[in-house]
Amino acid sequence: MKTRRWLLLFLPLLALLLLPPVRTITAQVAPQFGEPLPGLSDIDLTLFAFGKEKFTATQTPATGLGPVFNDRSCVACHSNPVPGGSGASLDNRVTRFARQVQGQPFDPLLHLGGPNLQKFSVGGELPGCSLPPEVVPAEANLTGLRQPPQLFGLGLIQGIPDTEILVRADPTDENDDGIAGRPNISNGVIGRFGWKAAVPTILDFTGLALVNELGVTNYLFPHEMSPQGKPIPVGCDVTADPEDGDASRLSGLLFFTTFVGPPPRGPITDAVLRGETVFAQTGCALCHTPSMKTGPNPVEALNEKDVPLYSDLLTHYMGGALDDHIIEGAAGGGRWRTAPLWGLRVRHFFLHDARTTDLVTAIRQHGGEASQVRNRFFNLPAIQRADLVAFLRSL
């Protein structure tokens, strides 16, 4: 009896001595998609959480939705794989329309509700409001689709100084490499957000998205869009402008989109490392600049940080297959901002109109300034092409 008790006491100790030692976990937990920038202050983390609530909140006519709109929350279109991501469905695409007649100026049809279509209306939701959703007007002879990009790391992109962008511009292809990147400059301001780099700041884009996509007027954009260019019918706009009267949505969304962290890299295998070399040697990096750096910034998490975005933030002429003839600022129809490739591995659809789910097809669509590089890619041995795709899938 006594011996057994003794054994009971010492068995656990014996087990500890005989079993292999439990490994202590020292590796840091890798950041996940949609987490805040590493190193934010407690105050900024609170602002980020406040903003995330605004980003996911559903709007109603009483909170300012409509009179025409495309969806009820930011996250409805920016959800893949988490809030702040890209579109999860082709239904998240936005339609632009315009009219262009030979010899006449490009017309975004503002008087008919352009440049964006709002495909829903609060008619039917508000008793006493009769209002059809917008349609592409018969006068439009151009339409274009745009998919929602990821918003991860936008604060870092914003922190890149203009000079870093301008130094890579080569509008007349002085160095004769076939690549002629141009900044999209309007009224002296360099744009960097949106598929055509037409919008200069996150704040501008946030204000625009509030009013264009949700119909919520705000301090930057205090006027409702007129549905199809017509006056708003009585009973269809029940909230005084600006509907974001305390600016809590505009500012919250600004904090969320500025402080959301960059997309984390996937596993780095040997194929990925080889593919990275192929990416550079083939010339993809001539436009998809692997990394830029933020300038001095009062927010430490954004101060002099590397930004591995894989874009030069310039626009390039990409050839007829990608030309929808719609002009934004200084960027004509076939010119697009070099799409940042970070976060590619969780994306479902590629290119501005989400025309493909296949990376090799996306590369095949590259024309114009990218023709030589595209041809070089398709002339590579199959193994090198596979390595390059493995690299893209790690981003």
| Sole window of 42-50, 97-105, 194-202, 222-230 interacting with ligand HEC (rule: CB under 6 A) | 194-202
How many residues line the site for ligand HEC (CB under 6 A)? 53
Is 126 a binding residue for ligand HEC by CB under 6 A? The answer is no
Is 210 a binding residue for ligand HEC by CB under 6 A? The answer is yes
Is 314 a binding residue for ligand HEC by CB under 6 A? The answer is no
Among 48, 64, 70, 158, binds ligand HEC (CB under 6 A): 70
Contact in structure between 200 and 189 (CB atoms under 8 Å): yes
CB of 19 to ligand HEC, least distance (A): 49
Return the residue matching tokens 């025409």.
68
Q: How many angstroms separate the CA atoms of 12 and 309, rounded?
A: 53
Is 369 a binding residue for ligand HEC by CB under 6 A? The answer is yes
Determine how many CB atoms are found less than 10 A away from the CB of residue 90: 13
Handedness of CA 31, 37, 38, 42 (dihedral sign): negative
Is 193 a binding residue for ligand HEC by CB under 6 A? The answer is yes
Interaction mask 22-61, ligand HEC, x per CB under 6 A: ----------------------------------------
Among 94, 98, 117, 327, binds ligand HEC (CB under 6 A): 94
CB of 20 to ligand HEC, least distance (A): 45
Among 377, 385, 387, 394, binds ligand HEC (CB under 6 A): 377
Is 213 a binding residue for ligand HEC by CB under 6 A? The answer is yes
Q: How many angstroms separate the CA atoms of 275 and 310, rounded?
A: 14
Hey, which residues between 238 and 257 contact ligand HEC (CB under 6 A)?
253, 257
C-alpha to C-alpha distances, 310 to 180, 181, 222, 279, 313, nearest whole angstrom: 17, 14, 35, 11, 9
Contact in structure between 320 and 372 (CB atoms under 8 Å): no
Q: How many angstroms separate the CA atoms of 62 and 70, rounded?
A: 17
Residue 352: closest CA among 199, 195, 191: 195
Among 288, 289, 333, 390, binds ligand HEC (CB under 6 A): 288
Is 194 a binding residue for ligand HEC by CB under 6 A? The answer is yes
Determine how many CB atoms are found less than 10 A away from the CB of residue 300: 13
Name which of 11 and 310 has its Cβ closer to ligand HEC: 310
Q: How many angstroms separate the CA atoms of 351 and 35, rounded?
A: 25
Name which of 123 and 343 has its Cβ closer to ligand HEC: 343
Is 218 a binding residue for ligand HEC by CB under 6 A? The answer is no
Residue 96: closest CA among 66, 116, 68, 118: 116
**Where on the phi/psi map is residue 156: left (φ > 0), alpha (ψ -120 to 50), or beta?**
alpha
Quick one: 36 exposed, middle or buried, by C-beta within 10 A (0-12, 13-18, 19+)?
buried
Is 184 a binding residue for ligand HEC by CB under 6 A? The answer is no
The CA R_g of the chain, rounded to the nearest whole Å, is 25
Joined tokens for residue 318: 């990409």
Is 292 a binding residue for ligand HEC by CB under 6 A? The answer is no
Is 82 a binding residue for ligand HEC by CB under 6 A? The answer is no
Quick one: 278 exposed, middle or buried, by C-beta within 10 A (0-12, 13-18, 19+)?
buried
Name which of 107 and 276 has its Cβ closer to ligand HEC: 276
Contact in structure between 74 and 254 (CB atoms under 8 Å): no
Name which of 123 and 263 has its Cβ closer to ligand HEC: 263
Contact in structure between 256 and 55 (CB atoms under 8 Å): yes
Interaction mask 322-341, ligand HEC, x per CB under 6 A: x-------------x-xx-x
Is 160 a binding residue for ligand HEC by CB under 6 A? The answer is no
| Sole window of 39-47, 101-109, 292-300, 350-358 interacting with ligand HEC (rule: CB under 6 A) | 350-358
Is 363 a binding residue for ligand HEC by CB under 6 A? The answer is yes
Name which of 294 and 338 has its Cβ closer to ligand HEC: 338
What are the residues binding ligand HEC (CB under 6 A)? 70-71, 74, 76-78, 92, 94, 146-149, 151, 154, 179, 193-195, 202, 205-206, 209-210, 213-214, 253, 257, 282-284, 286-288, 316, 318, 322, 336, 338-339, 341, 350-352, 359, 362-363, 366, 369-370, 373, 377, 388, 392
